[in-house]
Structure 1
């Protein structure tokens, strides 16, 4: 097979690129996908009990007019809009998100501990060299100990001191002592922070519905169950493990960058291989637990965070609140979707994780103990690449790998293709593909992704 543009991966970035190529009048392209389905980490699945599950707690919000218009077209009005309601479970109680903005809900002694830590004299004044030090420098020892350090280790499966903090941007709410004291004294919550304060969700089919619809537009160009084995940049060919050989002029890779630069590329050198080895990531195990509502106390929460060790998961989503059609019997059932990270820093026994997840739901008051044997479904999946970790070596690795790839006619974009978590949301990922396609056809500059 021979095409002008070859795309590796049929996730949000690859599908966004393919769709935009076609919109711009280009039909000489192909998409290789190693799995039998499209959507990547944004795919959704329906289990035998009729419950729909995502691979993690995705919500749809946007920074782009193009993405908004695309969603409107794909979903054709068949979506729900939500006001975010998220909470943190800590110290035996529930604290509205962002935690550091709402510590007034903590027990008195812990509340004071957090306030004390915010006094300048109690915070390290040296310029931070990593994410852990940044937490201590900005929030002090109280909030760091109670929430930010343990939670970030649970979600990243990486010690905060081994991460940089340039990725933070709009991801972490930074507060001042005055606003914390005002919240406590006036008994006012601050829950409006963040770009995902409002979000949309498909009425049916989970998040994957978006990308099933997008894939339909370029279905003739998608080749599933084709795992890349080799990329020869000099010959401009890609060979798959299944024996397919594709000639191309330009290549967009949306698969993990460390695989491309460290294993697949024939022209990799020692520096590139070393840089690829310096990139780090975690994996994520997702457990879906479904049950009849019966006398279970209903709540309006969207999702909840768990920094403590009484549950293995770092986040649980009330998936039944995203859309009533995520359960088999709308309105009469509950769906808890729980995420647990793992890595060499934080190994997890996946054989026991489902039972530990159910126990964690009990420990955190989301599930009554007598309902443990009364569950309708237990669904699980595990992905080896969950989050690209902004480790201390990341930026240097990207500066080594990405320019060399582009000199070879290879562009690597997307959540793991670009390896920049700060532009790894769903809208960012789609737009990285869109902007690459526009660069190829219209010679315009990409705006979302940069390794510099």
Structure 2
């Protein structure tokens, strides 16, 4: 088969690209998807008991008018709007998110340790060399020890010393001594920080319904159950696991960048293989605990920095939509996320049991709730988060220009490998902007190659 544009992956980026190509009048393109469904890491699943689960705690918010308009078209009025309510479990107390803005909830000793770390002379003013130093320099030792350091290791499964801080942007709320003291003395909460302070969620079918519906509008261009095994970059031919070949002029890959370079490209240059080996990622296991009984709890999601539970985040997924439980509006769907890597071992054979124990330990459920658990669901995602490691930017500076010289464009959460632009809206728009660049020559703005 000969086509002008080949797209690997029917996740948010691949579908965004396909959608925009179609809108711009281009019909010679195809999307190759290894799964039998669209959505990638934004897919949703319904288990045997009727609970709906996402692959992690996705929420829909946007930085882009195009993405907003797309959601209106795809979801029509079939969505709910929420005000974010998220908390941090620190020891035995709950602290509103962001933790660093609301330390007044902590016991006095911990409160003092957090304030002391912010006092003049307590923080280095030198340029930090890594994420660990950035945390200490920005928040002081108290906030670092009680939340930032343990939580970030728990979510990234990577030591902060091994990470850069160039990705921070709007991802982390910074704080100053004056604001901390004012919030404590005036007993004032500061809750509204962040772009996801308000968010939308599909009424039915989980986050994945967005991308299933989008894929349906492009069904003539998507080939499912099509796993790529090689890319002949010289002759511009993709071969799948069944021996089918696809001849292209331009290739957009949304697969993990390291897989593209080290496993698919034919005779990949050693310089590219070495650069790809610099890239790091973690894995995430999502565990869904479905409970038949209801309890009033208005929280959206909770963070768990302490080591008395395996998960770093738990989402009250039943609060996102009443249809996420088997009987709409009844029962609870607790969606828990556990990270792992070579630096953080997780026994995958007993992770569901460990999560259940952790929910008891953290008082998220009690023994009576445990008796009413009717569903234990899990999914293991080998590529969970692209780590902004110290070598990442150097690797991307080598990889991306070299690939583009071959008419191969790698975009998306793991195609681009930039966590700071890998929300769902970012991911869709990476595909949209790539398509516009191909057709109109308009420069990409969301994903930039420096």
TM-score (norm 2): 0.99
- Contact 1:91–1:107 (Cα < 8 Å) also in 2: no
What aligned pairs does 1:10-49 form with structure 2 within 5 A after superposition? Answer: 10-49=10-49
Give the secondary-structure state (helix, strand or coil) at the position aligned to 1:37.
Answer: coil
Deviations 1:312-362, CA, capped at 9 Å, x for gaps: 000000000000000011222110000000111112111111011011111
Runs (5+) with no aligned partner, structure 1: none
TM-superposed CA distance for 1:369, in Å, is 2.2
- Contact 1:395–1:451 (Cα < 8 Å) also in 2: no
TM-superposed CA distance for 1:267, in Å, is 4.5
Deviations 1:281-317, CA, capped at 9 Å, x for gaps: 00100000111225x4x11100000000111000000
TM-superposed CA distance for 1:228, in Å, is 1.2
| 1:349 counterpart = 2:347 | yes
Q: 2:367 is matched with which residue: 369, 380, 389?
A: 369
Say which is worse superposed, 177-186 or 113-122, in terms of deviation.
Answer: 113-122
- 1:117 corresponding residue in structure 2: 117
- 2:437 corresponding residue in structure 1: 439
TM-superposed CA distance for 1:86, in Å, is 0.4
Give the secondary-structure state (helix, strand or coil) at the position aligned to 1:140.
Answer: helix
Alpha-carbon distance between aligned partners in 2 of 1:65 and 1:100, rounded to the nearest angstrom: 31
- 1:336 corresponding residue in structure 2: 334
4+ residue segments displaced more than 3 Å: none
Give the secondary-structure state (helix, strand or coil) at the position aligned to 1:118.
Answer: coil
- Contact 2:293–2:369 (Cα < 8 Å) also in 1: no
When the two chains are superposed, the root-mean-square deviation of aligned CA atoms in Å is: 0.9
Give the secondary-structure state (helix, strand or coil) at the position aligned to 1:200.
Answer: strand
| 1:427 counterpart = 2:419 | no
- 2:194 corresponding residue in structure 1: 194
Alpha-carbon distance between aligned partners in 2 of 1:146 and 1:430, rounded to the nearest angstrom: 36
| 1:63 counterpart = 2:60 | no
Give the secondary-structure state (helix, strand or coil) at the position aligned to 1:376.
Answer: strand
Q: 1:309 is matched with which residue: 293, 304, 307?
A: 307
Give the secondary-structure state (helix, strand or coil) at the position aligned to 1:308.
Answer: coil
TM-superposed CA distance for 1:124, in Å, is 2.5
TM-score (norm 1): 0.98
Give the secondary-structure state (helix, strand or coil) at the position aligned to 2:171.
Answer: coil
Give the secondary-structure state (helix, strand or coil) at the position aligned to 1:193.
Answer: coil
Give the secondary-structure state (helix, strand or coil) at the position aligned to 2:339.
Answer: strand
Give the secondary-structure state (helix, strand or coil) at the position aligned to 1:450.
Answer: coil
- 2:297 corresponding residue in structure 1: 299
Alpha-carbon distance between aligned partners in 1 of 2:51 and 2:66, rounded to the nearest angstrom: 31
Alpha-carbon distance between aligned partners in 2 of 1:194 and 1:364, rounded to the nearest angstrom: 26
Alpha-carbon distance between aligned partners in 2 of 1:98 and 1:244, rounded to the nearest angstrom: 50
Alpha-carbon distance between aligned partners in 1 of 2:161 and 2:438, rounded to the nearest angstrom: 39
Alpha-carbon distance between aligned partners in 1 of 2:120 and 2:234, rounded to the nearest angstrom: 57
Runs (5+) with no aligned partner, structure 2: none
Deviations 1:366-415, CA, capped at 9 Å, x for gaps: 10123323201011001100000000000000000000000000000000
Alpha-carbon distance between aligned partners in 2 of 1:87 and 1:142, rounded to the nearest angstrom: 18
Alpha-carbon distance between aligned partners in 2 of 1:338 and 1:19, rounded to the nearest angstrom: 32
Give the secondary-structure state (helix, strand or coil) at the position aligned to 1:50.
Answer: coil
- 1:383 corresponding residue in structure 2: 381
- Contact 1:38–1:211 (Cα < 8 Å) also in 2: yes
Give the secondary-structure state (helix, strand or coil) at the position aligned to 2:170.
Answer: coil
- 2:206 corresponding residue in structure 1: 206
